[in-house]
Amino acid sequence: MWITRHGERVDEVVRKWQTLPEYDGWEWYDPPLTPKGQIQGVQAGNLLKEQLQLQGIKFESIYVSPFSRTLMTAEGISDVLQQPVDLVVGVSECCVTVKQLGMTNMIPKFAPVKSIDKFAPKLKINQSQLQEEKFEDAAERLAIPGKHILLVTHREGVRNISRKTPTPVRDTPYCITVHFTFNIQTGEWAVVEQFRIPK
């Protein structure tokens, strides 16, 4: 399983971002990517494509947290890889906002699939998995032995899985991708390698 953090989000760069006309209508809990963050999504896609080609593999599935920043990042990645994505609510459970507001309260707030094309028009979505589950449970459920899977999620997702390994990844910049293995018999995770886009 490969896990990618989303790109640069506007609220971490522009203090009063919601007062700007281009962000009118965006909710405080769901800030979009900056233009740089959108470029980072494409860079992550190019880096992943290069690594997949070197290893002679392809992702069987790409699963995405339904926040706009992860969807916009996934748009860049899926466009480069020419693969659709699946929305998985459980992949967002690690996010601080979900922890604060609760998953039950967040599910109705996630962007309906029909409105995603307003901010991620190139993103092709296969299906949505809307059941409530913890991030770690979703990751373990999706980590099918012998399958190459990508999760596009939040910094906490990378950190949460990495803490379960003997070699935790402490620095999780925008669009870092960490390749993990999961042993379904023992429940043990391990870091294989990590990839970072240029700063």
Domains parsed from the chain with CATH numbers: 2-195 (3.40.50.1240)
| Contacts with 103 (C-beta within 8 Å, 6 or more apart), sequence order | 89, 93, 132
Strand order in the sheet with 85-88: 125-129, 85-88, 61-64, 149-153, 2-5, 177-183, 188-195
- What is the pTM (predicted TM-score) of this model? 0.96
pLDDT band per the 50, 70, 90 thresholds, residue 77: very high
Kindly state the tokens that stand for 171.
Answer: 């620095």
pLDDT at position 112 is: 66
How many residues are present in the chain? 199
Of 2-16, 64-78, 104-118, 159-173, the least confident: 104-118
Going from the C-alpha of 82 to that of each of 11, 25, 42, 86, the distances in angstroms are: 29, 30, 12, 14
pLDDT at position 111 is: 66
Mean pLDDT across the chain, nearest whole number? 94
pLDDT, tens digit (0-9, with 9 covering 90-100), for 16-71: 999 999 998 889 999 999 999 999 999 999 999 999 999 999 999 999 999 999 99
- Chain Cα centroid distance, residue 10: 16
126: nearest Cα among 160, 70, 88: 88
Q: What angle do CA 98, 100, 106 make, to 5 degrees?
A: 40
pLDDT at position 113 is: 65
Q: How many CA atoms lie within 13 A of 22 on its CB side?
A: 9
Of 111-120, 126-135, 149-158, 167-176, the least confident: 111-120
* Most distant pair of Cα atoms in the chain: their distance: 52
Cβ pair 181, 2 in contact under 8 A: no
**For 78-87, what is the mean pLDDT?**
97
| Contacts with 141 (C-beta within 8 Å, 6 or more apart), sequence order | 90, 133
Q: pLDDT over 90 for what percent of the chain?
A: 84
pLDDT band per the 50, 70, 90 thresholds, residue 114: low
The stretches of the chain forming alpha helices (DSSP H) are: 35-55, 68-81, 96-101, 103-106, 113-116, 135-142, 155-162
The strand pair at 149-153 and 61-64 is best described as parallel
* Termini Cα distance of the chain: 24
pLDDT, tens digit (0-9, with 9 covering 90-100), for 123-158: 999 988 888 999 999 999 999 999 999 999 999 999
